[in-house]
Amino acid sequence: MQTWIPTSAPSHWRAARTESPSQGAILIIGALAAVSVSARAEGLPQADPLWVVDRASAAIVMNQPQGLTYDAVGDLVWVADTGNHRIRVFDAEGMHVRSYDIQHPTSRGPIPGEPKALLVSREGFVFVLDAMTEHIQVLDLLGERVREVRPGALSGWTPPSAASNPEPAFAASRNFATGQPVPTDETTRPVAMAFDPQENLILAVGGTRGIILGLGADDQVEWTLDGTEDGGAPFGAISSLFVAADGSLFVTDMTGAAAVRVFDPERRQRLALGTHDVGNENFSLPTSVVAASGRMWVADAIRQTIKVFDLEGTLVGMVGGAGRGMGDLLYPAALATDGKNRLFTIERVGARLSAFQMSVPGSIAEATNPGGRDSVAVEVGVDGLGGRTDILAPEARRETNPPVPNK
């Protein structure tokens, strides 16, 4: 049996616990109680809440946010506020810096978008994955469109036929504003993305049978990964990608045989962990993964926790628990890290952005971040953004447009 400890405990860290089958079933349907433990086991990672942005702490009311990324150059946290059709930018202390609408032109006029994931490059380009489109939008830091990346039109690969990638078992996506289903081609619909260490784009596409595409210059597909290489199981519905500084690829899968899979820089599977079953080491709905402080941190939306594994796949603890208190979680949708010791989370139902301080006694944090690259040291100008297009003072924007990236 589990011992439930009040959420008023000073630390929102939870050590790994045993779990009976009946309790596991409760977890799977999402009835997980809010728990915390104050005990700190020596040698285990810690995650202490630093700050939270919610409707009680700021004049920001997010609506089912689903995307999150950390911008190492600007030391900024970017959020895809899906239900409000907006991109929001916060500084590293949780102060709201800027926001802008995401819209799509149509023959009947612009319609609101639904941004679900985003990345920010060193050069200051914002890559937006939107549920309303079958392509990735590339914007500048002011939200102006630069170009598009269309998986179905990429050279270097042939999309699978519809017969080999059947329609998903999930309900069709619906536009928040109109309530109408969003038509998509499931074989090429982007579902997740990351940067490799050289900031080449990596895309996951597909419905219930995901495929990962590694892009090079001029959007040329240089490699593909469907999970069956080396005799592995095919991917199911991929929910997130993360690339470490050494090029290792982390994948969360909502329906596949393994909930989390790790591939080495040569894309050989190194680790598969967790199934969709009861037990602390397993998952109900894995939504996001990052690697930092010598650990893997994996969000499970239904169990409303962040599970922590060492790099060999051993569960060493959990963070969070259902609730609205500091350090609690309500359906975590995405994770990000600054590559040092801060972990950021966004909650789809809780509609909150939170920051945690991570530490692992006796170990050195690994330099990884959501873009799959080392944290960078830059000469930061007066705009605080290293000479990139200034998002804090639009009137100070450079006269010349930023160069169009070739990837």
**Residue 205 CA from chain centroid, whole number:** 15
Query: What is the total residue count of the chain?
Result: 407
The ranges assigned to domains in the chain are 13-158+182-394
Euclidean distance between CA atoms 111 and 334, whole angstroms: 25
Written as six digits, the tokens of 98 are 């800027």
pLDDT of residue 360: 60
Q: Which class in CATH covers the domain with range 13-158+182-394? A: mainly beta
Fill in the amino acid letter for 155: S
pLDDT of residue 341: 87
What phi-psi label fits residue 30: left (phi over 0), alpha (psi between -120 and 50 degrees) or beta? left
The predicted model scores a pTM of 0.78
Residues 6+ apart with CB under 8 A from 339: 70, 72, 245, 292, 366, 367, 368, 369, 374, 375
pLDDT of residue 347: 96
One digit per residue, pLDDT tens: the chain, 407 residues? Answer: 222 222 233 333 333 333 333 333 333 333 333 333 323 344 455 688 999 998 776 678 999 999 999 999 999 999 999 999 999 999 989 999 999 999 887 778 888 999 999 999 999 999 999 998 889 999 998 888 999 999 888 888 888 764 444 444 333 444 444 454 444 456 788 999 999 999 999 999 987 889 999 999 888 999 999 999 888 899 999 999 999 999 999 999 999 999 999 999 999 999 999 999 999 999 999 999 999 878 999 999 999 999 999 999 999 988 888 888 888 899 999 999 998 889 999 999 999 999 999 876 444 334 333 443 333 333 323 233 333 343 443 333 233 333 344 43
List own/partner pairs for 227-233 with CB under 8 A and 24 or more apart. 227/256, 227/261, 229/267, 229/268, 229/269, 230/268, 230/269, 232/261, 232/269, 232/272, 233/257, 233/258
Euclidean distance between CA atoms 14 and 5, whole angstroms: 10
Euclidean distance between CA atoms 220 and 232, whole angstroms: 26
